[in-house]
A and B are shown apart, each in its own frame.
Chain A
Amino acid sequence: MIAYIVRRLISAIIILIFLTVVIFFAMRLLPGDPLMIYVAQSQFSNIGQDALQQLRIEYGLDKPMLVQYFTWAGHVLQGDLGKSIFFNQSVGKLIARRLPITINIGAVAFVVATVLGTLTGLMAGLRRGKLVDQLVTPLAYVGITIPVFWLGVVMVYLFGVTLHWLPIGGYTSPFTNLWLNAKQLIMPVICECVLGLASLSRQMRSSVLEVARQDYIRTAWAKGLQERAIVIKHMLKNSLIPIITLMGFAIGGIFGGSVLVETVFNIPGMGRLMVNSIFNQDYVVVQATTLIFGALVLLVNLIVDISYGWLDPRIKYS
């Protein structure tokens, strides 16, 4: 098991290094000198050649590309993600304020998607063709079809504007006001979890149907076990194996969805920071948010891979 974890860890680190290389050099593909973009946007737009050269040296832009990369990567490793031109603040600070918000919503959405997705899929699979199945299967189909941002808009209209049940946006920390936080979280969480929930439910259903056909399940029935024992002891763990892979994708979907959902509900999180920075041409922030999102997805996938090996011992030896 330890060898398996180490192997996964090494490959995750390699992908992370790849990621930084791609992001760094992609940013250098931007038309024009990064310095010119900076200068054009800051207060000293009519700057002399000497001062420009001064800045170039100060930011290390006179050095070869590879040296620049290692300098940048070194700073990133120390938590220094650069300075935002638009906010005139360190990007690390900007992100430190916003990341907890995105993680708060994302974590709740992830738990809801996993628990409800697995449960509904399990029920639909066990009662194939019955009422539960007839309800869950079409709903799951709608779930993978609906545009999340539009779902948000419809819910705002229904529960916010018309019924006045829920606040139409914003974010309050749970430590300040737990009740308001919960109310504000309901709609964004539904939006972020819907895609993951629906795909997990669909996968779980077909996975249960697959497992139910296996010989060991027939044996379990034949020796007269109760349905509950069969489901919990024999079916659940085996049906969960393909689900775990999909959970990694679900987390990607949740982070991706956060870009849209935070815009719809006006939530000051990472997703909205990224979108706004694109419009502000605040490239340092775009670079940093992309990197953080990528690293987070990698981290979750690493955890998924490790639990995969724990759940299915066949994997770690292959």
Chain B
Amino acid sequence: MTQQQVTTAFSEAPVRVNEWKRFRRVFFARKIVIFGLVVLSLLVIAAIFAPWLAPYDPYKVDMRNVRLQPSAQHLLGTDSNGRDTLSRLIYGSRTTIVVGFATTGFGALVGMILGLLAGYTNNKAINMIIMRGMDLLLSFPMIILALFVAAILGGGIQNVIIALAIGALPGYARVMHGLTLSIRENDYVMAERAMGASNIKIMFSHILPNALPPMIVLITMQLGGIILAEAGLSYLGIGIKPPGAAWGAMVNDGYRFLTDLPVLSFAPGIAIMLVVFAFNLVGDGLRDALDPRLRGTI
């Protein structure tokens, strides 16, 4: 070994692994994840810039141009009220984004706090009430739970968000509970406690940040499922009120004209699928990059 080689070997040994670089390398390792990111970016762009992107007013009824076949003027045809399908599709992305993110935000926040409490407390009763409650919610199929809640609260987009968030709660709470149980055993938590840190401080500034990476993975993966559930509810007619545009409702509206104009039902369905697909892909990529323990499990 020459002097040169020895120096290189020694100088390279303590190089710190750049976490961000490693994250990027693993995350972008599969090209299809990039496809997922592109789809999600398009979704966000469509939602934000809908008024500029949509070729027509999505709500304007035009009885002279009812159920037109796709053409250069109307790329995806028009529906039974003469409204342009492409424009409604673009505006529908707003419903998807709003319901998806609001549900996840609300559900994840409450679910994580409940899971954190149940996992951190030494009080058996609190733990039991929270976790058995979550089991109860989990025993329900999400869409039936959401239907039941929507039946009580009534339709409307905000109630759909509440209904779906309640359905999504147990997933977050259970994972957070498990994470808390393992993180609280770490030495740094004991050290904090020895130094007299309050429970609130330990919970929110030590356990929570350490649980975030796997939670982010779970949140991304669940988004696809929530968007599917929202589409299902809006297909059934629960959710955004007409003439508002939602993809699930558009599939249902087009169902009556399936023979002549299948594009009315097909286009929004493909949009739902692409978005759910994209969220799953990005979730998988995040899992590989953020949480090595979960790699290859599902």
Interfacial residues, chain A to chain B (CB-CB below 8 A):
14-15, 18-19, 22-23, 26-27, 29-30, 141-142, 144-150, 153-154, 156-157, 161, 202-203, 206, 209, 252-253, 255-257, 259-260, 263-264, 274-275, 277-279, 283, 286, 290, 293-294, 297-298, 301
Q: What separation, in Å, do the CA atoms of A274 and B133 have in the docked complex?
A: 24
When distances are taken between beta carbons in the complex, the residues of chain A under 8 Å from B297 are: 206
Contact of A203 with B298 at beta-carbon distance under 8 Å, contacts A145-B276, A147-B269, A154-B266 already known: yes
CB distance from A126 to the nearest CB of B (A): 16
Q: What separation, in Å, do the CA atoms of A286 and B146 have in the docked complex?
A: 12
Please tell me which one of the listed residues A22, A30, A154, A202 contacts residue B269 in the complex, with CB atoms under 8 A apart.
Answer: A154
- Residues of B within 8 A of A (CB-CB), count: 43
Please provide the chain B residues from 145 to 159 with a CB less than 8 Å away from any CB of chain A in the complex: 147-152
Q: List 24 A-B contacts (CB under 8 A).
A: A15-B132, A19-B136, A141-B280, A142-B277, A147-B251, A153-B258, A154-B266, A157-B258, A206-B297, A209-B296, A252-B139, A259-B144, A259-B232, A259-B236, A260-B235, A263-B235, A274-B147, A279-B237, A283-B151, A290-B144, A293-B141, A294-B139, A297-B139, A297-B141
Please tell me which one of the listed residues A15, A30, A147 contacts residue B228 in the complex, with CB atoms under 8 A apart.
Answer: A147
Contact of A286 with B140 at beta-carbon distance under 8 Å, contacts A15-B135, A150-B251, A153-B251 already known: no
Chain B residue with the shortest CB-CB distance to A277: B151
Contact of A256 with B269 at beta-carbon distance under 8 Å, contacts A18-B136, A153-B255 already known: no
B58 at interface (Cβ–Cβ under 8 A)? no
Q: What separation, in Å, do the CA atoms of A298 and B232 have in the docked complex?
A: 23
Chain A residue with the shortest CB-CB distance to B142: A256
A259 engages B262 (CB within 8 Å): no
Interfacial residues, chain B to chain A (CB-CB below 8 A):
132-133, 135-136, 139-144, 147-152, 224, 228, 231-232, 235-238, 248, 251-252, 254-255, 258-259, 262, 265-266, 269, 272-273, 276-277, 280, 296-298
Q: A147-B235, A259-B144, A290-B147 are in contact. List 14 more A-B contacts (CB 8 A).
A: A18-B132, A18-B133, A19-B139, A147-B248, A147-B272, A149-B231, A149-B251, A153-B266, A154-B265, A161-B259, A252-B141, A278-B147, A290-B144, A294-B140
B141 engages A260 (CB within 8 Å): no
When distances are taken between beta carbons in the complex, the residues of chain A under 8 Å from B147 are: 259, 274-275, 278, 290
Contact of A206 with B280 at beta-carbon distance under 8 Å, contacts A255-B144, A256-B143, A263-B236 already known: no
Please tell me which one of the listed residues B135, B248, B273, B296 contacts residue A206 in the complex, with CB atoms under 8 A apart.
Answer: B296
A260 engages B144 (CB within 8 Å): no
Q: What separation, in Å, do the CA atoms of A129 and B162 have in the docked complex?
A: 43
B143 engages A274 (CB within 8 Å): no
Please tell me which one of the listed residues A23, A30, A260 contacts residue B143 in the complex, with CB atoms under 8 A apart.
Answer: A260
A26 engages B251 (CB within 8 Å): no
B258 engages A149 (CB within 8 Å): no
